Amino acid sequence: MTYLEKEAQIQEQFAKLNQLLQENEVIIAYKKIAEKVFAHEGLQALEEQIKTCQKQLVQYEHYGKYQAKEQLLVEIAQLQEQYDHHPLVTAYREKLIEANDLLQYVTNRIQREVNEQIEQEGKKDAAKD
């Protein structure tokens, strides 16, 4: 089998694996919750508030306004806690962990099988010598 034939076969198998992952219930659940999080106007507004406060924080630091900086740090912490404990964000993070676990499992399995194949080919080559 030539290099190009092997490459085409690998690409075909990769496409099949990708399709299987796209149809996996863990990935589907992750995508659904991700869409909800990114479309949620309240969460977007909260993110913008946090970003705005962080920019102000840099300005306060630059101009030596340490009391205002401390107050802003408290406000940022409150906003961040509100964001972190939002039910959609919590659900999103749980689904993200599940999706990552699935992808890690698949990746490790592929890596293990490739390594075993390489070892077997190495043993065959050593036996020929």
pLDDT of residue 58 exceeding 80, the answer is: yes
Burial letters 104-128, b for 16+ CB under 10 A, else e:
eeeeeeeeeeeeeeeeeeeeeeeee
Q: Residue 104's pLDDT is what?
A: 98
- Distance, in Å, from the CA atom of 57 to the CA atom of 34, rounded to the nearest integer, reads 29
Q: Residue 108's pLDDT is what?
A: 98
**HSE (CB half, 13 Å, CA atoms) of 17?**
13
What is the pLDDT averaged over residues 11-34? 97
Q: Residue 126's pLDDT is what?
A: 75
Mean pLDDT of the chain: 94
Q: Residue 4's pLDDT is what?
A: 84
What are the angstrom distances between the C-alpha of 6 and each of 1, 3, 13, 48, 105?
7, 5, 11, 49, 24
Which tokens go with 21?
């992952």
Q: Alpha carbon 96 to chain centroid distance?
A: 7
Q: Which pTM value belongs to this model?
A: 0.80
All structural domains of the chain, each given as residue ranges with its CATH number in brackets, are 3-128 (1.20.1500.10)
What is the pLDDT averaged over residues 1-25? 92
Which tokens go with 7?
């490459």
Q: Residue 30's pLDDT is what?
A: 98
Span of 17-31, 85-99, 113-127 with lowest mean pLDDT: 113-127
How big is the chain by its Cα radius of gyration, in Å? Answer: 25
What is the pLDDT averaged over residues 74-81? 98
- Residue 122: pLDDT band (50, 70, 90) is confident
Residue type, 104: Q
Q: Residue 129's pLDDT is what?
A: 63
